[in-house]
Amino acid sequence: MSIRPLVILPDAQLRIISAPVKSIDKDLTQLVGDMFETMYDAPGIGLAAIQIGQPLRVVTIDLSKKEGEQQPQVFINPEIVWASDDRSSYEEGCLSIPEYYAEVTRPARVKVRYRNETGEEREVLAEGLLATCLQHEIDHLNGVLFIDHISKLKRTMVVKKFTKLAKERGEG
Ligand code: NI
């Protein structure tokens, strides 16, 4: 396992629609391992494979707060099969948009169908932070970022700022 470099806004990879995982093999296990290592190192509570440059429908999440009590969760080919009408707001952030946070309103509860790390089909009825995190990460698989859910003015400002930073790093 290794820590991989994070893909940062405005990198065009973040707009790629990721492909479904076809088989749970050694490469996938390796990818999941790298995703957890990268996510814990950042640190972050959720990561989509495209954030380390792999356009596959894989999400890792760990909402545990305390060190030594990790609760790693893997979602392969996750799909929202139901969303509640009631909504809730969270201040969201993203490892691909470092140190920027904004309030986002989404369905308060979602039912997500996915495969676990051994390929078994599972369903989870998520609420609270898990519901928000799953929706945020599934958005990544579709090339959508949390800043797409905020006002156009705020989005333009944050994209401008990160474009300038990328130029300063010599990536522009
Ligand atoms: Ni994100």
Higher pLDDT, 69 or 129: 129
Instruction: Name the active-site residue from 37, 117, 137, 168.
Output: 137
Report the separation in Å between the CA atom of 8 and the middle of ligand 1, taken as the mean of its atom positions. Answer: 10
Residue 1 lies in a domain: no
Q: How many domains does the chain have?
A: 1
User: Is 137 assigned a catalytic role?
Assistant: yes
Strands (E), 6-162: 46-48, 58-61, 73-83, 87-94, 97-107, 109-115, 121-127
Residue 7 lies in a domain: no
Residue 5 lies in a domain: no
Q: Which residue has the tokens 């996938």?
A: 28
Measuring CA to CA, which residue among 138, 114, 116 is closest to residue 24?
116
Query: With 80 as the cut, is the pLDDT of residue 13 above it?
Result: yes
Report the separation in Å between the CA atom of 53 and the middle of ligand 1, taken as the mean of its atom positions. Answer: 13
Q: What is the mean pLDDT of residues 149-170?
A: 96
Percentage of the chain exceeding pLDDT 90: 94
Q: What is the mean pLDDT of residues 130-145?
A: 98
Residue 161 lies in a domain: yes
The whole-chain average pLDDT of the chain stands at 96
Report the separation in Å between the CA atom of 133 and the middle of ligand 1, taken as the mean of its atom positions. Answer: 9
- Amino acid letter at 76? I
Q: What is the pLDDT of residues 39-91, one digit of tens each?
A: 999 999 999 999 999 999 999 999 997 777 899 999 999 999 999 999 999 99
- Write the CATH number for 34: 3.90.45.10
Please give the pLDDT value at position 68: 75
Query: With 80 as the cut, is the pLDDT of residue 20 above it?
Result: yes
Q: What is the mean pLDDT of residues 155-160?
A: 97
Query: With 90 as the cut, is the pLDDT of residue 1 above it?
Result: no
Report the separation in Å between the CA atom of 94 and the middle of ligand 1, taken as the mean of its atom positions. Answer: 4
Strand partners, 61: 46, 73
* Domain coverage including residue 143: 12-168
| CB under 8 A, 24+ apart: contacts of 82-91 | 82/110, 82/111, 83/107, 83/109, 83/110, 83/111, 84/108, 84/109, 84/110, 88/128, 88/131, 88/132, 90/129, 90/132
Q: Are 48 and 140 in contact (CB under 8 A)?
A: yes
DSSP character for 72?
Answer: -
Report the separation in Å between the CA atom of 122 and the middle of ligand 1, taken as the mean of its atom positions. Answer: 23
Residue 44 lies in a domain: yes
Backbone angles phi, psi at 124, to 5 degrees: -130, 135
Residue 155 lies in a domain: yes
Residue 6 lies in a domain: no
Residue 4 lies in a domain: no
pLDDT-based confidence at 172, cuts 50/70/90? low
Query: With 70 as the cut, is the pLDDT of residue 100 above it?
Result: yes
